Amino acid sequence: MTSGFHFDLLRTDGSARRGRITTSRGTVETPAFMPVGTAASVKAMMPAQVRATGAEIILGNTYHLMLRPGADRIARLGGLHRFMGWEGPILTDSGGYQVMSLGPLRKISEDGVTFSSHIDGSMHALSPERAVDIQLVLGSDIQMVLDECTPYPATFDEAQSSMLLSMRWAKRARAAFIERRDAARHAQFGIQQGGVHLDLRRRSLAALQEIGFEGYAAGGLAVGEGQDEMFRVLDGISPDLPAAAPHYLMGVGKPADIIGAVLRGIDMFDCVLPTRSGRHGQAFTKDGPINLKNAVFAEDDAPLDSASACPASSQFSKAYLHHLVRAGEMLAAVLLTWHNIAFYQELMAGLRLAIERGEAASFGREFLLQYRRERA
Amino acid sequence: MTSGFHFDLLRTDGSARRGRITTSRGTVETPAFMPVGTAASVKAMMPAQVRATGAEIILGNTYHLMLRPGADRIARLGGLHRFMGWEGPILTDSGGYQVMSLGPLRKISEDGVTFSSHIDGSMHALSPERAVDIQLVLGSDIQMVLDECTPYPATFDEAQSSMLLSMRWAKRARAAFIERRDAARHAQFGIQQGGVHLDLRRRSLAALQEIGFEGYAAGGLAVGEGQDEMFRVLDGISPDLPAAAPHYLMGVGKPADIIGAVLRGIDMFDCVLPTRSGRHGQAFTKDGPINLKNAVFAEDDAPLDSASACPASSQFSKAYLHHLVRAGEMLAAVLLTWHNIAFYQELMAGLRLAIERGEAASFGREFLLQYRRERA
């Protein structure tokens, strides 16, 4: 639809898809994991370090950026890419998810949502149109529509009325986007809601397709329903997802979630897990997650992954990382975040190669067999 | 004296000296500034980033390392260099300075000092001999003798008795070092004390030379006496410092302190200032220090130093750094620490070149003219 953005489906393997997103700022091989750069920074990381892991696209949070330093300020400083020194594509969320998490600090109406800043208590408003504006001002390559992330659990009626509101907002967001986008450089994704109710999910997706977007996201999953339930929903919606557009599962997840979702046709992921857990001493390894604070690593001279091209993974011993975590050294967060992003990118590269070879299912099985061995 | 360690005096310019320290782990061009790697980490920095600034030697703290993770553990993990991934020379202090700072938590006797760990309250002891042992176990290239850092102010009698204790300890430390050092790969520096009393300083230096060390440090300065008084002491001791050995001014300092000390014959420096202030939003610039938290930088699109080869100095705007500091992002500490170390290394490179050209005094004058212009 937009000349600067398109998606090529290169290969399928069952429901799994090997694709390529093209943007005016570069390509993204899918399935792809997007490290989260909440406040114009993938926490503790230099952009060059993030790029070196193989990450081709990062996520920015409209909610955080609109509050600090402010979208207009970022625009005056040349846009989000230039501001933070990330030259590749950036996807921005609409701010909806964070605002909904504010609980009593926010108020939803048909028009949109008003909320009080968690930073200084100042009042702000987001509407479908304003979320489009802010993301255009930030200069994001892929923007998300404002939606209401339906909480879990929700009754059918609650989930339905929430989904219908999100669909009305999606229609307004698309109209605003079409009217305002400059030179067709940007893309906009719709977000499917409907809780765990397949009927609602299907109606939501149909509504989004009727409106027409460059990509289709599933929101309101990984919010407490559990992996089995999430996979059941993905199984239910997978056949209806439009083959010609990318499929994005928002806020997911653990390696096992990602593998299962890729096998169910998802192309894009984001999650704070690799970055946040890195700041808390946790490292992802092929043998499962470990916490470096554990005394068992005090004299473990082996690196996290001697075969990795990532310096954080291969050049420092677990004993050293253990020491840094125990001593509260900032370098612990730097190295573990870097390693975890590299681990996730390596997982995605493995999945992409497996799909090309028609071995996605067995790759996933073998990965998880080793990943879960310790606790089996 | 040790075959693995020697010092070459390449050029003098007034009292300023251009030299080169050779160790078994590489050379150090002097005058040199040593970034402080307290707990086996130059805080927030990867070793490769520290090296990329031009730093050739770093400092480790015996006090911190003996408490956590413990010198024996570091030895079992291959020594401090391998443990932290720094291949170049490392100088370790003796632990004396930190222990003396513990105040009521430590007790000094003729034999040495006993103290209670600031981490867990456990009791530890340091003697001149044990400080030698620990530093050998760590594998440091240059070790410092245990001394009592005379507090400021001190009466002549207090400073004298403290200095004499340090000299008795220095003698014991040298004997232990000669007896125990392996394959002559390491060097040991004596530390001059005597407060601000030139007579005591001269007697201390004579005592150290009588014992004989690979290098001579001045301790107990920059402890509150002020720059004028420190320079007066350096002027007084400078003529007596042995030309054939490196001169190290411990714990110094601000750029103006370093310039003044280099002009008075000092070859080596260490200070937490560039790293610590980087974690608090402060950046050193050619026009003086600035605090990025200041609102004046909110939309300042210029980097800290566009001409610098350091990515932290040249690739990010002050506006972005301002945002990171305000948002409490860890990347602020990473980038400002990196920039500050690069700034210090560039200052040292400038001083070295100026000495080679016989222009040390005018270099210092011009540097400080620009550095202090804003506040003149």
Give residue-wise pLDDT tens across range B69-90.
999 999 999 999 999 999 999 9
Task: State the count of interchain CB pairs (< 8 A) between A and B.
Answer: 106
In this predicted structure, what is the pLDDT of residue B96?
85
Comparing B3 with B218, which gets the higher pLDDT? B218
pLDDT by residue (tens digit) across A67-97? 999 999 999 999 999 999 999 999 999 988 8
Smallest CA–CA distance, residue A45 to chain B, in Å, is 6
Given the residues A93, A257, A267, A305, select the one marked as catalytic.
A93
Among A41, A83, A323, the residue with its CB nearest the CB of B69 is A323
Q: Does residue A376 carry a pLDDT above 50?
A: no
Instruction: Tell me what pLDDT residue A105 has.
Output: 85
Give the pTM: 0.97
How many whole angstroms separate alpha carbon B248 and alpha carbon A282? 41
Is B297 touching A (CB cutoff 8 A)?
A: no
Candidates B136, B125, B204, B134; CA nearest to B170 is: B204
> Per-residue DSSP letters for B99-145?
HHTTGGGEEE-SS-EEEE-TTT--EEEE-HHHHHHHHHHHT-SEEE-
Percent of chain A with pLDDT over 90: 92
Distance from C-alpha of B152 to C-alpha of A364, rounded to nearest angstrom: 66
Taking CA atoms, what residue in B is nearest to A302? Answer: B77
Q: Whats the size of chain B, residue-wise?
A: 376
Tell me: cis bond preceding B69? Omega within 30 of 0 counts: yes
pLDDT at B145: 98
Across the interface, whether the CB atoms of A333 and B333 are under 8 A apart is answered no
Handedness of CA A172, A175, A177, A179 (dihedral sign): negative
pLDDT value for B103: 84
pLDDT tens profile A132-163:
999 999 999 999 999 999 989 999 999 999 99
Q: Residues near B369 by Cβ (< 8 Å), separated by ≥ 6?
A: none
Query: Taking CB atoms and an 8 Å limit, are B326 and A69 in contact across chains?
Result: yes
pLDDT of residue A33: 98
Nearest Cα neighbor of B355 from B283, B281, B267, B233 is B267
**Which chain B residues touch A327 with a CB distance below 8 Å?**
39, 41, 68-69
pLDDT at residue number B185: 80
Nearest CA distance, A142 vs chain B (angstrom) = 22
Q: Does A243 touch chain B (CB under 8 A)?
A: no
What number of other Cβ atoms are within 10 A of residue A161's Cβ? 14
The CA distance from A192 to the nearest CA of chain B, in Å, is 32
Of A9-23, A105-119, A197-211, A340-354, the least confident: A105-119
One-letter amino acid identity for A247?
A: H
For residue B183, pLDDT over 70 is answered with no
Beta bridge partners of A114: A107, A125
Query: Does A300 contact B at CB distance below 8 Å?
Result: no
Report the pLDDT value the prediction gives residue B3, as an integer from 0 to 100.
57
A374, pLDDT greater than 90: no
| Residue at B157: amino acid letter | D
Residue-level pLDDT at B182: 65
Give tens-digit pLDDT for A254-287.
Answer: 999 999 999 999 999 999 999 999 999 999 999 9
| A75: contact with B, CB 8 A cutoff | no
- CA angle A68-A74-A76, nearest 5°? 135
From the list B279, B327, B330, the residue facing A333 with the nearest CB is B330
β-bridge pairing A282-285 and A268-270: unpaired
Say yes or no for a CB contact (<8 Å) between A85 and B298.
Answer: no
Q: What CA–CA distance (Å, rounded) separates A140 from B85? A: 38
Q: How far is CA B288 from CA B36, B282, B305, B307, B350, in A?
A: 22, 10, 12, 16, 16
Percent of chain B with pLDDT over 90: 92
**The dihedral formed by the CA atoms of B310, B316, B317 and B320, expressed in degrees to the nearest 10:** -140
- pLDDT at site A2: 44
- Chain B residues touching A78 at Cβ < 8 A: 301
Q: Chain B residue with minimal CA distance to A73?
A: B299
Reply yes or no: is the peptide bond before residue A253 cis, omega within 30 of 0.
yes
The answer, yes or no, to whether the previous bond of A274 is cis (omega within 30 of 0) is no
According to CATH, where is 3.20.20.105 located in chain A?
6-272
**Nearest neighbour of A84 by CB, restricted to B41, B320, B326:** B320
Strands B32-34 and B6-13: unpaired
* Residue of chain B minimizing CA distance to A69: B323
Query: For residue A373, what pLDDT band results from cuts at 50, 70 and 90?
Result: confident
- Encoding tokens for residue A262? 């890729």
The per-residue pLDDT of chain A, averaged, comes to 95
Closest residue of A to B77, CA-based? A301
Q: Which CATH superfamily is domain A6-272 in?
A: Queuine tRNA-ribosyltransferase-like (3.20.20.105)
Q: Is the pLDDT of residue B376 over 50?
A: no
Contact of B51 with chain A, judged by CB distance below 8 Å, is answered with no
pLDDT at B2 over 70: no
Strand A32-34 and strand A288-291: the pairing is unpaired
Instruction: Report, as residue numbers or ranges, the catalytic residues of B.
Output: 93, 270
Contact status of A330 with chain B (Cβ, < 8 Å): yes
User: What is the reported pLDDT for A185?
Assistant: 80
* Residue B103 or A313, more confident: A313
- Whether residues A299 and B48 touch (CB distance < 8 A) is answered with no
Residue count of chain A: 376
Residue range B291-308, pLDDT digits in tens: 999 999 999 999 999 999
* Average pLDDT score, chain B: 95
pLDDT in tens, B321-365: 999 999 999 999 999 999 999 999 999 999 999 999 999 999 999
Residue A4 has a pLDDT of 84
CB-based contact A131:A53 (threshold 8 Å): no
Mean pLDDT of B42-64: 97
Which residue of chain B is at minimal alpha-carbon distance from A67?
B327
| pLDDT value at A248 more than 60 | yes
Interchain proximity B46–A85, CB inside 8 Å: no
Residue B191 tokens read as 């530390």
How close B323 comes to chain A (CA, Å)?
6
Q: Minimal CA–CA distance to A44: which of B277, B289, B308, B46?
A: B46
What was the ipTM of the complex prediction? Answer: 0.97
Q: What is the DSSP letter of A110?
A: S
